[in-house]
Structure 1
Amino acid sequence: MKIKEVIVVEGKDDTKAIRRALDADTIETNGSAVSKETIEKIRHAQRKRGVIILTDPDFPGEKIRKTVSDNVPGCKHAFIDKEEAMGKGGKGVGVEHASPEAICLAIKATHTLTEEVKEVITKKELLDAGLIGGMHAARRRARLGQLLKIGYTNGKQLHKRLMMFQVSRKDFLKALEKVRQEEGQ
């Protein structure tokens, strides 16, 4: 599969994993302290071809994602689930450990942030649905993030990410229903 956009990744091992899965160009951030020069490269790529951010499903990866999207508006976002990015023997988590199939699925399910953010699902609804607080909230959020292709979030981030990606009420309720069915509720 040939990708028009340039994919932003963390390092050279991520680039190797991308190239095993896709015909695509990458820009490596080389860690979470993204340099001004790298931001300029990403801005240029965004103007010319578009950008997809695909970082590790961990805290540093989310920090990089936020830094890039704060400085380069209009980037698309792709997410790989933690389970799919787990190293052999549970050692490490990252794009470099993901299968070519997982990478392709993440790229196909990219999201573009919207400038106009409106609240479709309220925080109260998230609380009532057992996605914030409670014993199994983290597990429910993780599964919901997989189904909606928005990545894993903590309780505070979930509302923001749902708004950021303008997840529709219909899609949210459909995913929530699947989470409940899987739990036997």
Structure 2
Amino acid sequence: MRSISEVASAVTKGDLTRTIRVEAKGELEALKDTINQMIANLKGTTLRNHEQDWLKSNLAKFAQMLQGQRDRNAVANKVLSELAELVNARYGAFYILEQPELSDEPKLKLFAGYAQRSRKLIDQEFSLSEGLVGQCATDKERIRLANVPNEYLQISSGIGNAAPIDLVILPVLFENNVKAVIELASFENFSDTHIDFWIS
């Protein structure tokens, strides 16, 4: 009973890290199991609330950041830099869809990079449906590659380089028309909250 009381008291103070681990039988065992389940449910609810707060605050931050911006290069660099930091991406590229003349085919042109080693090492432009970047623009759907092959891309720092394990390519839509495509890669798996943020 003392252990159950201590854990219950800790939970009322907001500590959801503890569980009741003592051996019990009968009604005490049922009470122990109920309290442990309650703690697990509270943890889940708290995490979901925290993730929703994260989504709302960051969506508001990006909306505010883009208000009144006219310079495409500045916008592309700012969005890519902020987004990469927000989701722990360690590489990024921002392609803007350009349609120079009515007779010319639209092209996705590289406007900004995040932690790119050299622009010579990545494609500067894509036609629609060309490569994954062009396909993302055509389909207006996110493309995600988990377990990226080592030879696919290397992310570098001053002390070394390594391949990312997760890569996502995102269409940027306005009134259901593709305006740009963002490519991000990370040494960690992107979380479900990050995915929800991109969908929003």
**TM-score band w.r.t. shorter chain:** under 0.3
TM-score by length of 1: 0.22
Q: Which has the higher helix share?
A: 1
TM-score by length of structure 2 reads 0.21
- Structure number having the greater strand percentage: 2
